[in-house]
């Protein structure tokens, strides 16, 4: 294959992802760019949801052990079939799908290790049911699966503005215990390298404080003890960075004009504002893995499954980004 395919794990079987995938494959955008894709999911579920949602595509089944010699048929959905026991096309999310999802990831990671795929995209997954408390999120799960634990970085990317939380899917009460100067520096350096090597740009960073207005009644607060020292270290490394700034004003339009990346201390501190600003026109990129991994920036949304009303823009943005960085 001259162009490496994008590997897509459909993720939680009872999510809106296949509906979104069908809308993309049916779009003029997809047909124009002729994007090679290998979808890893249940063929049975694919056909059942396709029928219920009134889509019609031919399916090309692939053998996972013969991918190096195959020729993809882009007039069909190229799929590696993974067995899933179910009776209905739409259902409730539960732990029953865990083995299926894990099998899909195992196949995808093996493909990426063999350098057959150009990038990995996964559909949304219920952290509560799949991870069962073993990992904070899929970011950490994939880092463990690829032997890159503690190197992972979550970057919510938009060409105008990106954000990254130092801590990811943890309770607010645990955030102060988890943030360290070394962790902040490590994540900023990883993002800086990504921007320079992949985006071809030296980014401007700003860092949000942890406490309201970057202050507290305690002299030994996180801004003075942890965040400011991290910023000074990054500045000595010639990284373009300022802060800490108060998170309640950092996202005001006038402040964003010269910012490429905002580093936050916890998940919703930066993800809530960027989703407000860009809706689904942002993608979740995991840095620090042996390959590019992207997740459309939305959840399973089980309540919307089968209604055919879900927005496919985030998956579209993911595909556009992969095409761009691969130069095709």
Q: Which CATH number characterizes residue 182's domain?
A: 3.40.718.10
Q: Which structure tokens are listed for 196?
A: 């320079």
Mean of pLDDT values over 266-277: 93
Together in a domain, 180 and 257: yes
Residue with more model confidence, 225 or 324: 225
Helix (H, G, I), strand (E, B), or coil: what is residue 181?
Answer: helix
Q: Which structure tokens are listed for 192?
A: 């800086």
DSSP state of 302: G
81 vs 39: CA distance, rounded Å: 9
Report whether pLDDT(150) > 60.
yes
DSSP state of 169: S
Together in a domain, 3 and 131: yes
Together in a domain, 139 and 238: no
* Predicted pLDDT at 131: 86
How far is C-alpha 154 from the chain's CA centre? 7
Report whether pLDDT(268) > 90.
yes
Together in a domain, 147 and 233: no
Report whether pLDDT(155) > 50.
yes
In which domain, by residue range, is 159 found?
A: 153-283
Together in a domain, 65 and 83: yes
The proportion of the chain whose per-residue pLDDT surpasses 90, expressed as a percent, equals 64
Together in a domain, 33 and 127: yes
Together in a domain, 144 and 8: yes
Q: Which structure tokens are listed for 162?
A: 């990106």
Greatest mean pLDDT among 60-64, 210-214, 287-291 lies in 287-291
* Predicted pLDDT at 328: 58
Together in a domain, 12 and 84: yes
User: CA quadruple 117, 119, 124, 130: dihedral positive or negative?
Assistant: positive
- Our count of domains for the chain comes to 2
Going by pLDDT thresholds of 50, 70 and 90, the confidence category of residue 1 is: very low
Together in a domain, 187 and 275: yes
Report whether pLDDT(69) > 80.
no
Residues near 36 by beta carbon (within 8 Å), at least 6 away in sequence: 1, 3, 4, 5, 6, 72, 74, 78
What is the torsion angle, in degrees rounded to the nearest 10, for the CA atoms of residue 103, residue 105, residue 106 and residue 109? 160
Together in a domain, 107 and 11: yes
* Predicted pLDDT at 7: 95
Together in a domain, 201 and 75: no
Q: Which structure tokens are listed for 322?
A: 């992969």
Together in a domain, 87 and 215: no
Report whether pLDDT(101) > 50.
yes
């Amino acid at each position: 294959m001259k162009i490496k395919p994008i590997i897509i794990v459909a993720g939680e079987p009872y999510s809106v992802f296949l509906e979104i995938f069908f809308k993309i494959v049916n779009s003029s955008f997809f047909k124009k760019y002729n994007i090679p894709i290998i979808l890893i999911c249940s063929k049975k579920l694919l056909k059942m949801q396709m029928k219920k949602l009134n889509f019609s595509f031919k399916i090309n089944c692939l053998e996972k052990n013969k991918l190096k010699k195959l020729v993809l048929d882009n007039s069909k959905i190229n799929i590696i079939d993974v067995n899933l026991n179910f009776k209905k096309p739409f259902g409730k999310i539960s732990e029953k799908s865990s083995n299926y999802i894990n099998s899909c990831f195992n196949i995808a990671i093996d493909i990426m290790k063999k350098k057959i795929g150009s990038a990995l995209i996964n559909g949304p997954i219920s952290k509560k049911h799949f991870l069962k408390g073993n990992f904070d999120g899929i970011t950490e799960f994939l880092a463990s699966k690829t032997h890159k634990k503690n190197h992972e970085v979550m970057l919510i990317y938009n060409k105008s503005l990106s954000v990254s939380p130092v801590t990811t899917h943890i309770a607010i009460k645990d955030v102060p215990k988890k943030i360290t100067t070394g962790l902040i520096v490590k994540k900023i350096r990883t993002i800086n390298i990504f921007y320079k090597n992949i985006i071809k740009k030296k980014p401007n960073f700003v860092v949000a404080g942890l406490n309201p207005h970057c202050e507290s009644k305690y002299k030994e607060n996180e801004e003075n003890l942890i965040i400011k020292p991290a910023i000074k270290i990054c500045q000595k490394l010639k990284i373009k960075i300022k802060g800490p700034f108060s998170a309640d004003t950092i996202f005001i339009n006038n402040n964003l004009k010269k910012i490429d990346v905002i580093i936050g201390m916890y998940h919703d501190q930066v993800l809530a504002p960027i989703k407000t600003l860009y809706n689904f026109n942002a993608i979740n990129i995991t840095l620090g893995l042996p390959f590019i991994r992207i997740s459309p920036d939305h959840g399973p949304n089980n309540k919307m499954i089968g209604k055919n009303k879900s927005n496919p823009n985030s998956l579209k943005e993911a595909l556009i980004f992969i095409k761009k960085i691969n130069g095709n």
